[in-house]
Structure 1
């Protein structure tokens, strides 16, 4: 596991992880958004030439995090499966083996827009599926980044990335965390997910991910 970057948010300490996840020490909870398991398989089923091995990569990163951290719960902030084509046998078999390695770990999926289309994970994976929001401590855990009337929102869905500009026309597009006053965005965890460019504002902080480290942007 890479070096975490601790921040204080809503009176809690959270660790931003270069693996594109958040660890909440007080709850021993690992939060990930937008894994999109089976996305590549779904594209290949439509005849699209896309990379193989993304499910294997995503599982390997999750394995490393769960083994490195004192983790008693894993919470997915939506979009666990990408679509109906994600139910390919190879994808589900790999997920079954992964789940068996962590049989004692509590797992919860907050249903996202892709989950509604793909359907819930197989019951054999023993993943509790709930609608958004899931309220835990001072946070409203969601897929959609809609404000909550009382709690700070931790959400996915957007797949935030930030463009760093260098000299001339050089630029670099990096996955990022966008930490706002009321709503904060996690980057997409999945290895084949794309991204939506976000900007800094007076009410937000940007933490980009590069070289397996978290880099806070300064004005």
Structure 2
């Protein structure tokens, strides 16, 4: 049964004995614990490129934060876990001010950042944001929340870092790349939440499942032979 807070386009999965929902917003919802997980925001990435003289679009930080606003308003999570790469690099004052305004709107939501490789370069978010910052793995129930995909002896790993995408083939030579969730026997990788992040095409494997995100829908792709 679909939760009243979820759209029919969310896809339910069972990982580590827990019911989870793969959201078309490229986020993961754990309803029993009221935990929302997202990976790879890379806030301020476009601004970093523009500072280098690259003609990339503006407004992506506000778009990312607005999408988080909508998810929080709809799901009312008790905790938001960032699976690494919250900030892309050391950021200008305008980006940090936007993030501070966003955090103030959700002061009642506990937030945890699992450090990723870009967090190591950018430094921890300012302490005034009230975001707990931890190293991987961050153990939460049956899950090991990580940035880098890896194995864990006792917990099912939830990770990011790879920005996974899959390729769907149409008639002739037509194909399209879509962001996706990817799961193996003891691990799942979330798509990048950020708007300006790119993606890595993950290869099929016998025990690997792909869940494509297209428009406002998530659907399971047929398993590999």
Q: Same fold (TM over 0.5)?
A: yes
CA deviation string 1:34-53 (max 9, x = no partner): 00000011111111111101
Question: CA RMSD of the aligned region, Å?
Answer: 1.0
* Rounded Cα–Cα distance in structure 2 between residues aligned with 1:9 and 1:172: 28
Deviating above 4 A after TM superposition, structure 1's stretches of 4 or more consecutive aligned residues are: none
* Rounded Cα–Cα distance in structure 2 between residues aligned with 1:65 and 1:179: 23
Count of residues in correspondence between the two structures: 217
SS in structure 1 at match of 2:178: strand
Match of 1:12 among 18, 34, 38: 18
Tell me which residue corresponds to 2:148. Answer: 144
Q: Note the C-alpha offset of 1:150.
A: 1.5
Point out where structure 1 has 5 or more consecutive residues left out of the alignment.
Answer: none
Tell me which residue corresponds to 2:198. Answer: 194
* Rounded Cα–Cα distance in structure 2 between residues aligned with 1:102 and 1:46: 32
Tell me which residue corresponds to 1:90. Answer: 94
Q: Note the C-alpha offset of 1:197.
A: 0.2
SS in structure 1 at match of 2:180: strand
Matches within 5 A, 1:115-194: 115-194=119-198
Point out where structure 2 has 5 or more consecutive residues left out of the alignment.
Answer: 1-5
Verify: 1:28 aligned to 2:34, yes or no: yes
TM-score where L is the length of structure 2: 0.94
Verify: 1:107 aligned to 2:105, yes or no: no
Verify: 1:217 aligned to 2:221, yes or no: yes
TM-score where L is the length of structure 1: 0.97
* Rounded Cα–Cα distance in structure 1 between residues aligned with 2:212 and 2:168: 9
* Rounded Cα–Cα distance in structure 1 between residues aligned with 2:207 and 2:76: 32
